[in-house]
Amino acid sequence: MLQFLCPCERPRLRSLLPCCVEEASRGLCGASRLQFPECETMGRSRKTTAYIFLKYILPISSVATILELAFLRILKFQNHNKVLQKFEVDQAMARWRRISYYEIQQATDRFNGDNLLGIGSFGKVYKGVLSDGTNVAIKVFNLGLEGAFRSFDLECEVLRNIRHRNLTKIISSCSNLDFKALVMSYMVNGSLEKWLHSEDHSLSMIERINIVIDIAEAINYLHHGGSISIVRCDLKASNILVDEDMAAHVTDFGIAKLLNGGNSMTHTLTLATMGYMAPEYGLEGLVSKQGDVYSYGILLMEIFTQKKPTDEMFMGDFSIKHWVDSLIDIVDARLLMEEGELASKKVYLSSIMKLALDCTKELPRERTNMKDVITTLKKIKMAFL
C-alpha cells in the first residue's frame, strides 16, 4: 500500500513545520466558525447589504406600515362615527314618547286634507289631536323622495342638540321602514308668511320688532349656543311659526348643516329657496353661519316692507336689496298709519333697513353677526317704546 505524506511529515522537512504551516495558511480567508479571517469581499458585501437595508428598505417599509395603520384608524373612526350618529338619533327618539302609525292616522283623521297645514321639501305637515286632547303638528315624510330618510335623521339629530324657546319642540316620533313622522308643538297662529302676505292678517310695528328679535335669538343660539354649530340653510317666512303669544319659532331643519370640529363652513348640493340664499350658497354650494345672516337680512326686509324677495318686480340684477334704498316708498303703509309720530317711525325703520343691508353684504366676511344684530334690534325696541 502506498502512503502519501504531507511534505511536513517527512523527516527531513519536519524542522520546517512551523514555517510550512504558516506559509500554507497565509492568505486563507473564510467563515469565522472555521477560525479563518473574514474575507474582504464578504465583509464589503455584508456592509453594502446592511447599508441598503437601513437607508432604503427600512424607511419605505416603515412609511408603508404607518400609512396602513393610519388608513385603518381613519376607516375605524368613520365607521365609529356612523354607528355613533345612528345611536344618537336612536337615543334622541327614545327620549320622546313614541307614537304608533295608527295613533297618527287617528289624530289626523286619516290624513284628511282639511287638516293639512303645509307642504315642505320632504313631506306634509298636518294638524292633529292626540288621544289626550293635545293639539299637535305632525310632519309626515314622503319616503319616496330622494333625501327624505336623511332629512328625518338630520332633524332628529338637530332637535336632539337644541333647547330654546324660539325653536320648534318635538313631542313624539314614529319611525319604521315604511313610515316616518315627527310630532311637534302646534302653533295656533300659523306661519309668519300668512301674517305678512294675507289681507286678513296684519302685524303692528312692535309685533314685527319682537318677531325679528325672536328669530335672531334662535339663529344666534343655533350658531353659538351649543357644542356644535348648526347652520339653518333655508331661513324664510314660511319656516317661521307664530304661537298664541305672537312669539316666533324657527322650524323645519330638514336641510340644516352641522359644523363639527371647529369648521366655519361646509358644502352642500341641496339648494335653499331662491331670493333668500346668499350668493356663495347658490354659486359654490358654500354653507356657513354668514349665509344664515344673509337670509336673515332678506327676511328683515320682507317683514318691514311686506314684499317677498321673489316678487315679480325683482328681475335680473334688480333685487329687494336695491329696492330698500327708497325707504319711505317701500315700507308697509299700514305701519305709517299707526298712531304716533311719522318722523320717529321713519327713524326706526331706517335703522332696521340699514341693519338688513349690513346683513346682506356681498362678501361673507363683511356681514354683521347675529349677536350684534340682537344688540341693535333691542336698542331700536327700547327707543321705540
* Secondary structure class of 155 (helix, strand, coil): helix
When mean pLDDT is compared across 20-34, 172-186, 216-230, 365-379, the lowest value belongs to 20-34
Task: Report the distance separating Cα 128 and Cα 135, nearest Å.
Answer: 6
Tell me which residues are annotated as active site. 234
pTM: 0.71
When mean pLDDT is compared across 17-21, 46-50, 224-228, 371-375, the lowest value belongs to 17-21
> What one-character DSSP code corresponds to residue 53?
I
Say whether 139 counts as a known binding-site residue: yes
Contact of 309 with 302, CB cutoff 8 Å: yes
Alpha helices in 227-369 (DSSP H): 279-284, 289-305, 320-323, 327-330, 333-336, 342-359
- Mean pLDDT confidence for 19-25: 48
Which residue has better confidence, 237 or 79?
A: 237
When mean pLDDT is compared across 100-114, 273-287, 316-330, the lowest value belongs to 316-330
In this structure, which topology does domain 192-384 adopt according to CATH?
Transferase(Phosphotransferase); domain 1 (1.10.510)
**Exposure of 319 by Cβ count < 10 A (0-12 exposed, 13-18 middle, 19+ buried)?**
middle
Task: Report the distance separating Cα 272 and Cα 274, nearest Å.
Answer: 6
When mean pLDDT is compared across 56-70, 101-115, 294-308, the lowest value belongs to 56-70
- Has residue 347 got a pLDDT over 60? yes
Radius of gyration, alpha carbons of the chain: 39
CATH 1.10.3210.50 fits 97-185, yes or no: no
Locate the domains of the chain by residue range.
97-185, 192-384
**Exposure of 320 by Cβ count < 10 A (0-12 exposed, 13-18 middle, 19+ buried)?**
buried
Contact of 156 with 92, CB cutoff 8 Å: yes
Q: What is the pLDDT of residues 36-50, one digit of tens each?
A: 565 555 445 555 666
Task: Report the distance separating Cα 203 and Cα 192, nearest Å.
Answer: 10
Q: What is the pLDDT of residues 108-126, one digit of tens each?
A: 999 999 999 988 878 999 9
Tell me whether domains 97-185 and 192-384 share a fold.
no
Q: What is the pLDDT of residues 215-268, one digit of tens each?
A: 999 999 999 987 788 998 889 999 999 999 999 999 988 788 887 755 666 766
